Amino acid sequence: MSITSTTPFFKVYPFILQADKISSMEILIYSYFYSMNQSELAITVSNNYLAELFNKDERTIKRTLNRLEKKEWISKIHTKKGRIICINYLPIEQEID
């Protein structure tokens, strides 16, 4: 795999990795959402965009988003202009000695 100007870089937070029963694709997508929009806690993005970004099939993206919604890590809001993804699960910041 080569790194290009469109290759996404973001941080995967420890609380995500420590979650019970979360797949690698769920970790990847949730980390992307969390990194992209921490201040507003919502992002507007299409399944097609995510599929191209992560080199996955749109069905894989749809299933992953549905699993994250079922686990209540995200909420999907549908509007006339499209879909908004809201982040539900936020870590409690802890000091590290």
pLDDT tens-digit readout, 24-71: 899 888 888 877 766 566 788 899 999 999 999 999 999 999 999 998
Give the sign of the dihedral formed by CA 56, CA 60, CA 62, CA 68. negative
Contact 20, 26 (CB under 8 A): no
Phi, psi (degrees; rounded to nearest 5) at 83? -110, 140
Q: Does the reported pTM lie above 0.95? A: no
Assess whether pLDDT exceeds 90 at residue 15. Answer: no
Mean pLDDT of 1-25: 62
Q: Which domains are delineated in the chain?
A: 21-87 (1.10.10.10)
Q: How far apart are the first and last CA of the chain?
A: 37
